[in-house]
Amino acid sequence: MKQTERPIAVFDSGVGGISVLRELVRLMPNENYIFFGDSKNAPYGGKSLEEVRKLTECHVRHLLSEGAKAVVIACNTATSADVSILRKEYPDVPVVGIEPALKPAVLQSKSKVVAVLATPATFRGKLIQDVVQNFALPAQVSVLAATSLALVPFVEHGQQLSAECLTVLHDILNPVVTQGADYLVLGCTHYPFLKDAIQVLFADQLTLIDSGFAVARQTARILIKHELLCEEQCKRPHVQLNCYVSGQNAETLRSVVARLIDPAFTWDIQNIAM
Ligand code: DGL
C-alpha cells in the first residue's frame, strides 16, 4: 500500500469524535479512515489527566499499529491531557488535536460574553487556560465556563432529545444565558450532537460554534505539508470507514452511530470488545 493510502486514525473517548470524523470525510473524501471511540471507558471528562493520558496512549498505539499515517485526537479532553506528549513520543507521525473554538466566538459575539461548554477534565487542563488567554481579549470579553459530566452519556446512548437531557442542558446553560452569553463554544466533540436539543431550549439566545471543520482543515494542511494527502481522485466513489467502538452491545451501537453519521458516504461499522 502506498504511504498516502494508509488510513487517518481518528480517536475519541466515545462516539462524539464522529462529529469531527464527518468533517474530515467531507473535506477529504479520498482518504481512508479508522475511527476508535472508547465508549467502554467514556466519559473521560470525570477522570484524572493521568488516567486520560494512559487510555489515550494505549489506543493511539493500537491505531498506529494498524498502519495509520496520521492521528487526529478528536477529543478536547484527551488533547488537553496528552497531545504534546504524543507529539514527543511519535515525532514522525502528524498528530492533530482539538481545542475549543473560542477565537471565532469572541470575534463575533455582540454581548462580549461567551460561554464555553466542556468537560471537567478539559477545564482542569492547561490548554483551555492558554486558549482563553490567547483569544479572549481579557479586558473586553467575559468567558463563562459551563460543565457537566451528565451530557456525554446521553449522546453515547442516543438520548439527546430526551426530557432528562433537556433538563440537564437547561440547568447548565440557563445561568450563562442569564449572564448575557450570546455565543456558546462547544468544547467537547460529543456536544455538536446536542445542537438540536440546545436549539429547542435557547434557539434565539445562543449561537453555537464547534471546532470540527477547523480540525479537518488543519489535518488537510498537515497532510499536504508531509506529502501524505491521498490524491487518487475518483478511485473510490464512497468512503469506507472502519468504526471501532468498544463497550456497548453491537446493536445499540449500530443504531446510535447510524443516526450520527452522514448517509451520503458508505460506512463500515464494526464493534470490538477491548
Ligand atoms: N468527546 C470528549 C471531548 O471532546 C469528551 C467526552 C468524555 O467526557 O468522554 O472532550
The Å distance, Cα 1 to ligand 1 centre, comes to 33
Burial class of residue 218 in the structure, from the number of CB atoms within 10 Å of its CB (0-12 exposed, 13-18 middle, 19+ buried): middle
Residue showing cell 454581548: 111
Positions of E strands within the chain: 8-12, 33-37, 70-73, 95-96, 113-118, 142-147, 183-186, 207-209, 241-245, 268-270
Residue 266 has pLDDT above 80, yes or no: no
The residue from 58, 165, 188, 243 that is catalytic is 188
Q: Among this protein's residues, is 188 annotated catalytic?
A: yes
* Active-site residue flag, 75: yes
Quick one: average pLDDT of 67-89? 96
* Ligand 1 pocket check for 192: Cβ under 6 Å: no
CA distance 167 to 178: 16
Q: What is the pLDDT of residues 75-85, one digit of tens each?
A: 999 999 989 99
Nine cell digits for residue 74:
478528536
pLDDT-derived band of residue 255, with 50, 70 and 90 as boundaries?
A: confident
C-alpha cell at 151: 451530557
User: Is the confidence at residue 237, as pLDDT, over 50?
Assistant: no
DSSP conformation class of 7: P
Whole-angstrom distance, CA of residue 230 vs CA of residue 73: 20
Return d(Cα 148, Cα 33) in angstroms, integer: 30
- Does residue 192 have a pLDDT over 60? yes
pLDDT digits (tens, 9 = 90+) for 9-48: 999 999 999 999 999 988 998 888 888 888 888 999 999 9
pLDDT of amino acid 244: 66
Q: Are 102 and 116 in contact (CB under 8 A)?
A: yes
In whole angstroms, what is the distance from residue 104 CA to residue 107 CA? 5
Q: Between 162 and 33, whose confidence is greater?
A: 162
Q: What is the mean pLDDT of residues 138-155?
A: 89
Residues in the chain: 274
Q: What is the pLDDT of residues 209-221, one digit of tens each?
A: 999 999 999 999 9
